[in-house]
Structures are given as C-alpha cells and as structure tokens.
Amino acid sequence: MIVRTGVQVVNFDAYQYGSSISLYANDIKTLFERGGSIAWGIVPTTTAVNKETAQSLAKLLLSCFDGLIKKGISKDLLIERAILTPSCGTGSLSPEVAQRVFDLLAEVRKLVF
C-alpha cells in the first residue's frame, strides 16, 4: 500500500522483516519502474548488534535479495536501487553502540556492493 502512494523511498527494518518483502515483489517492481529505491534497515539497533558481524548481516541482506530475485527482480537492479541504513532507533543508542552500528553498516556495504 505504501508503494502505491507514489513515494520514492521505502525504508523498512530488513533485519527483522526482510524475508517478508518478497511478498510485495510486484509493488517493488512498480517502485523501481518509477525510479524509486528501498532503504534496507539491515543493521539492528537493539542488543542484537552485539552478536552480529558484517558477514552475517551481508548474508541476511543477500537472502532478502534472493526472495525478490526469485520473483523476477534482477540482482543488479536491487543493488542499484538499494540504500543501506540501520534499523530504526540509532538516535537512542550510546555513542559507542551507534558507532558499532555504523561501522557494521560500512562493512556490509563493502561486502555486498
């Protein structure tokens, strides 16, 4: 429903809900056709950030991509239209934990792109 409003960027918590995005493949195709992007909130901003690595998060992101690839969206297009973000809540973290979140985000970017 959100994609149908004409927004250009859809931001969602891919860490917790990434596997469900493939349910909306047709809407994602429509978003991409009009030049839109997906902001993948792939780095958790909860205590889960302490157990994750850049490799585990990259693997999770790529598995999210795979669900859409199976529905006919090209990997190249997914990468071209991807914005990587932390999941919501970074502003309430301590500076040290927020730094870890952004360090992981930068590492995931290098691994996936």
Mean pLDDT of 44-69: 97
- The tens digit of pLDDT for each residue in 28-48 reads 999 999 999 999 999 999 999
- Confidence at residue 5, expressed as pLDDT on a 0 to 100 scale: 84
Where exactly are the structural domains of the chain? Answer: 3-112
Alpha-carbon span 77 to 54, nearest angstrom: 22
DSSP assignments along 51-111, one per residue: T--HHHHHHHHHHHHHHHHTTT--HHHHHHTEEEEEPS-GGGS-HHHHHHHHHHHHHHHHH
**Beta carbons of 31 and 21 less than 8 angstroms apart:** no
Structural tokens at position 8: 């250009």
